[in-house]
Amino acid sequence: MKKKKKIGSGIFMGLIVLFLYAPILYTIVFSFNEGKSLTKFTGFSLKWYSKMFANNTMMEALFYTIACAVLATAISTVVGTITAIGLSKSRKVLKNIVEQVNELPIMNPEIVTAIGLLMLFSAIHIEKGFFTMLLAHIMFCVPYVILSVMPKLRTLNPNLAEAAMDLGATPFKALTKVIVPQCMPGIISGALIAFTMSFDDFVISYFVTGNGVSNISILVYTESRRVNPSINALSTLIVLIITVSLVLVNIIPQLVARKNGKSAGVENI
Amino acid sequence: MKQFRKMVYPYLIWSTVMIAVPMLLILLYAFTSEGNTVTRFLFSLKNFKRFLTDKTFLDVLLRSLRIAVETTVICVLLGYPTAYVIAKYTEKVKMRWVLIITLPTWINMLVRTYAWTGILQEDGVINSILGAFGIRPVAFMYTDFAVILGMVYNFLPFMVIQIYTSLTKMDYSLIEAASDLGANPRKCFTKVTLPLSMPGVISGITLVFLPSVSSFCIPRMLGGGSYVMVGTIIESQFLTAGDWNFGSAISLIMAIIIMISMYITRKVDKGEKMEGATQS
């Protein structure tokens, strides 16, 4: 009876994995297809990759996506961390107000945030393009950074920064040498969330860009109307980038922990 | 420590301009009807009237809600057993499975949805498999089925992770106690495990229902150009028809419907808890 149950759940989980991964695998396989068809595999070739690298709009979209994600992550991580630290020392009223406002982009459907920004940018006459996309990305990334830094700050001992300043540290030094290092895990996970949010964003970018600037999502969306196997090549490239960075993100902390573990061991002796 | 308080001010200004003002703009445009450059405030309910009296728009709204509800139900039906099976594994295997489930969500949603267009084609993989069994090709693309499939595919991991989290937080001694007191495994599940995992189901429903009711890229890619949902109407009002007042009114109506349904879901959850409390 138990064995039967185990086989049943095994089959079920296998089907779920098949459901989640088959499309990704399908894309990868068909990126190497020789023909133009998305349904018949006629032979192995790398021509869609060379076509992709020769395609200016695709390379530009890739560049804009990465540039926007890097800039938005850097800026929103700094702004979010600074704000979170400020909030942890602020009065409750102010804290509540900022937290409520931050909920808006998280809770609202993306399309609502997107049209709001579209109207804002046209009201203050900023031309739609890379700059507006970056501003929008910073806008929806900061709340996530604040959300992931705040819990770390709550567990912090407030006396430590106090003590540092009593011992002659300037407030800036107390901030960079005491508070920030202690909430580093929260800052890093906030930055990671910000990066993937920005890298994957479609709806908001789609509404606030224009003038020939597009990111990967917008490109896939507009190109999906016609058959273009270069998209499969681009998708495979993205899958590769994401997988490699996920592996790195998972491995680096382990290596650091091992190193720290060793040095901590030395200190103990 | 007061010197650190000043650090909030830049973001206070930023969030006012970038978060609060856009929301106010939506309100302003929804209640006026003067075209895309609102110069003076003339209160009007015209946009809402247009939406609520036109049968085609109401049909679209109902269809969006139906598609979102169906997506959510399927996600619960598939997600709950998945989460349940994972929660029963040993610690190490659990972590591996959580990674397996979440990994696809890191890959761009458009890219993953695009992959389905090839699979669902009339001469695609699924139809070739069906053909091997002698079943004639089925037109999957540009149907409700394709849209719901795309949504379930994109949002299922959210559901699994939410339910999984609430299942692992559960105190397993309660199940042991129930079975010691004579409950059979089925009763243990319906009377102990299921009620205790309800918070996870509720937050999973929130995470699936909200993006599916407002989605516009999945219906556009898998439903085709003539497949209309609330999200696609809003998109066309802003990007092709250029009627921002009407578009704002529709998004306001959608936001209100979402808020109400969230409120009801939470209320139902609480109601169930109260019932449980009085029974014990």
> How many Cβ atoms are within 10 Å of B208's Cβ, its own excluded?
27
Q: Distance, in angstroms, between B16 CA and closest chain A CA?
A: 8
The pLDDT of residue B272 is 63
For A66-75, A105-114, B121-130, which range has the lowest pLDDT when averaged over its residues? B121-130
In whole numbers, what is the pLDDT of chain A averaged over residues?
87
The answer to the question of residue A137 being in a domain is yes
CB-based contact B97:B86 (threshold 8 Å): yes
In-domain check, residue A33: no
Residue A190's domain comprises 63-226
Residue keyed to tokens 């990868």: A28
Pairwise CA distance, residues A231 & A236, whole Å: 8
Among partner residues A87, A202, A231, which is closest to B217 by beta-carbon distance? A202
pLDDT digits (tens, 9 = 90+) for A83-93: 999 998 888 89
> Is position B22 within any domain?
no
Return the CATH number at A128.
Answer: 1.10.3720.10
How large a percentage of chain B has pLDDT more than 90? 39
Task: Confirm whether B112 is domain-assigned.
Answer: yes
Residue A24: closest CA among B229, B52, B273, B115? B115
Q: Report chain B residues whose CB lies below 8 A from the CB of A115.
A: 26, 234, 238, 244, 247-248, 251
| CB-facing half-sphere around the CA of A120: CA atoms within 13 A | 26
Asked if residue A46 belongs to a domain, the reply is: no
- A45 lies in some domain: no
The closest of A48, A22, A49, A18 to A36, measured between CA atoms, is A48
Residues in chain A within 8 Å Cβ distance of B26: 112, 115-116, 119
**C-alpha span between B242 and B32 (Å, rounded):** 15
Predicted local confidence at residue B1, as pLDDT? 59
**Residue A149 lies inside a defined structural domain of this protein:** yes
Q: How many separate domains does chain B show? A: 1
Q: Which alpha helices (H) appear in A108-229, and where do they start and end?
A: 110-123, 130-154, 158-166, 171-173, 180-182, 184-200, 203-208, 216-223
Q: A266 pLDDT exceeds 50?
A: no
Answer yes or no: is B13 within a domain.
Answer: no
pLDDT band at B274 (very low <50, low <70, confident <90, very high): low
Tokens coding B80: 């709950």
- A80: enclosing H helix or E strand: helix A56-89
Residue B9 lies in a domain: no
Which residues of chain A lie closer than 8 angstroms to B117, CB-CB?
38, 224
ipTM of the assembly?
0.87
Q: Is the pLDDT of residue B275 over 70?
A: no
Q: What is the CATH number of the domain that holds B189?
A: 1.10.3720.10
Q: How many whole angstroms separate alpha carbon A216 and alpha carbon A55?
A: 13
Residue B64 is part of which domain span? Answer: 31-279
pLDDT tens-digit series, residues A140-158: 999 999 999 999 888 888 7
Beta bridge partners of A44: A33
**Hey, what are A193's tokens?**
């969330």
- pLDDT for B84-100, tens place per residue? 999 989 888 898 899 88
Which tens digit of pLDDT belongs to each residue from A235-247? Answer: 898 888 888 887 8
pLDDT at A2 over 50: yes
Q: Each residue of A155-168: pLDDT tens digit?
A: 888 788 888 888 98
Domain-located, residue B18: no
Within 95-114 of A, beta carbons closer than 8 Å to B belong to 98, 101-102, 104-105, 108-113
Number of other residues whose CB lies within 10 A of the CB of residue B216: 25
What is the per-residue pLDDT for A39?
Answer: 76
Rounded CA separation B222/A124 (Å): 36
Chain A residue nearest residue B30, CA to CA: A116
Whether A56 is in a domain gets the answer no
Closest listed residue to residue B29, CA positions, set B54, B52, B46: B46
User: What is the torsional sign of CA B249, B251, B255, B261?
Assistant: positive
Q: Is the pLDDT of residue B277 over 60?
A: no
pTM summary value: 0.87
| Residue B181 lies inside a defined structural domain of this protein | yes
Average pLDDT over residues B149-178: 92
What is the domain count for chain A? Answer: 1
With bands split at pLDDT 50, 70 and 90, how would you rate the model's confidence at B271?
A: low
- pLDDT band of residue A134 (cuts 50, 70, 90) is very high
| Residue in chain B nearest A158 by alpha carbon | B1
Q: Decide if A71 is inside a domain.
A: yes
- Asked if pLDDT for residue A264 goes beyond 80, the answer is no
Q: Is residue B102 predicted with pLDDT exceeding 80?
A: yes
Give the residue among A196, A214, A197 at the shortest CA–CA distance from A206: A214
Confirm whether A251 is domain-assigned. no
Q: How confident is the model at residue B247 (pLDDT cuts 50, 70, 90)?
A: very high
For residue B4, tell me if it sits in a domain. no
